[in-house]
Amino acid sequence: MYRGRAAVDSLDLEIAEGDIYGFLGPNGAGKTTTIRMLLGLIKPTSGSIRMFGRDLKKDKLKVLRQIGSLVEYPSYYGHLSATENLEAIRRILDVPKSRIDEVLAIVGLTKEARRPVRGFSLGMKQRLGIAAALLGSPRMLILDEPTNGLDPSGIQEIRELIKDMPRRYGMTVLVSSHLLGEVEQMASTVGIIREGRMVFQDTIGNLRRQAGGGLRLAVSAPQDALELAREAGMEGTMQEGRLLFAGMSDRDAARLVRLLVERGHDVYRVEEERKSLEDIFLSMVEEDAS
Amino acid sequence: MMLVRALWADLLKIRGKGIWFLIFLGPLGLIAMQSLNYGFRYDYMMRRYATDPWGGLAENVMMFVPIAIYLGMTLVCSLIAGVEHQTSAWKQLLALPISRKAVYGAKLLLAAALLAVSCLLLSAATAVLGLLLGFGTAPPFGMLLRMSFAPYAGALPVLALALWLSVTMRNQSLPVTIGVAAALISPFAPQLGEWFPLSWPLFSFAGALQAAMIAAGIGLGAAIGLLGLAHFHRKDVDEG
**Which CATH number belongs to the domain containing residue A116 in this structure?**
3.40.50.300
Contact A62 B15 (CB under 8 A): no
Contact A41 B95 (CB under 8 A): yes
Cα–Cα separations (whole angstroms), residue B42 to A222, A244, B47, B49, B79? 111, 102, 9, 11, 39
Cβ contacts (< 8 Å) between A35 and chain B: which residues?
none
Mean pLDDT of chain A: 87
**Same domain (yes/no): A71, A97:** yes
In this prediction, residue B154 has a pLDDT band, given cuts at 50, 70 and 90, of: very high
Quote the DSSP letter at residue A119. G
In this prediction, residue A244 has a pLDDT band, given cuts at 50, 70 and 90, of: confident
Q: Please tell me the number of Cα atoms within 13 Å of B119 on its side-chain side.
A: 26
A-B CB pairs within 8 A amount to 87
Pairing of strands A214-219, A267-273: antiparallel
**Same domain (yes/no): A238, A267:** yes
Burial class from Cβ neighbours inside 10 Å (0-12, 13-18, 19+) for residue B110 reads buried
From the candidates B8, B14, B96, B104, which should be mutated to test the interface with A, based on the most A CB atoms within 10 A? B96
Spatial separation of the C-alpha atoms in residues B45 and B235, rounded to whole Å: 54
From the candidates A31, A41, A118, A139, which should be mutated to test the interface with B, based on the most B CB atoms within 10 A? A41
**Same domain (yes/no): A89, A64:** yes
**Same domain (yes/no): A224, A180:** no
Number of domains in chain A: 2
What is the pLDDT, as a whole number, of residue A30? 86
Per-residue pLDDT averaged across A29-45, rounded? Answer: 89
Please give, rounded to a whole number of angstroms, the shortest distance from the CA of A202 to a CA of chain B.
28
pLDDT tens, A133-183? 999 999 999 999 998 888 888 888 889 999 999 988 999 999 999 888 888
The stretches of B133-198 forming alpha helices (DSSP H) are 141-168, 173-185
Per-residue pLDDT averaged across A198-215, rounded? Answer: 81
For B4, the closest chain A residue by CA position comes to: A92
In this prediction, residue A4 has a pLDDT band, given cuts at 50, 70 and 90, of: very low
CATH number for the domain that contains residue A263: 3.30.70.270
**Same domain (yes/no): A198, A232:** no
Pairing of strands A172-177, A140-144: parallel
Per-residue pLDDT averaged across A108-134, rounded? Answer: 93
Is the pLDDT assigned to residue B123 strictly greater than 70? Answer: yes
Q: Is residue B240 part of a domain?
A: no
Q: Is residue A130 part of a domain?
A: yes
Number of domains in chain B: 1
Cβ contacts (< 8 Å) between A132 and chain B: which residues?
92
Quote the DSSP letter at residue B240. -
Q: Which domain holds residue A248?
A: 213-274
Write down the pTM of the prediction.
0.86
Is the pLDDT assigned to residue A1 strictly greater than 50? Answer: no
Is the pLDDT assigned to residue B66 strictly greater than 60? Answer: yes
CA-nearest of B225, B197, B189 to B213 is: B197
Helices (H), strands (E): how many in chain A? 11, 12
Per-residue pLDDT averaged across A67-85, rounded? Answer: 92
pLDDT tens, A20-29? 999 998 888 8
Q: Is residue A194 part of a domain?
A: yes
Cβ partners under 8 Å of residue B162, min gap 6: B73, B74, B77, B78, B111, B175, B178, B179
Q: Is residue B153 part of a domain?
A: yes
Cβ contacts (< 8 Å) between B237 and chain A: which residues?
36, 41-42
DSSP A185-214: TT-SEEEEEETTEEEEEEEHHHHHHHHS-E
**Same domain (yes/no): A40, A92:** yes
Please give, rounded to a whole number of angstroms, the shortest distance from the CA of B66 to a CA of chain A.
31
**Same domain (yes/no): A177, A81:** yes
Is the pLDDT assigned to residue A213 strictly greater than 80? Answer: no
**Same domain (yes/no): A103, A244:** no
Quote the DSSP letter at residue B191. G
- Contact between B106 and B225 under an 8 Å Cβ cutoff? The reply is no
Sign of CA dihedral B14, A92, B90, A74: positive
Spatial separation of the C-alpha atoms in residues A3 and A241, rounded to whole Å: 44
**Same domain (yes/no): A89, A217:** no
Is the pLDDT assigned to residue B179 strictly greater than 80? Answer: yes
Binding-face residues of A in 73-102 toward B, CB within 8 A: 73-80, 84, 87-89, 91-94
CA-nearest of B33, B120, B109 to B76 is: B109
Length of chain B: 240
Q: Is residue B239 part of a domain?
A: no
What is the pLDDT, as a whole number, of residue A289? 46
Length of chain A: 290
- Percent of chain A exceeding pLDDT 70 equals 95
In the chain, the amino acid numbered B12 is L
Q: Which domain holds residue B222?
A: 2-234
Spatial separation of the C-alpha atoms in residues B61 and B65, rounded to whole Å: 7
**Same domain (yes/no): A67, A191:** yes
Check CB contact of B3 with chain A, cutoff 8 Å. Answer: no
Cβ contacts (< 8 Å) between B14 and chain A: which residues?
none
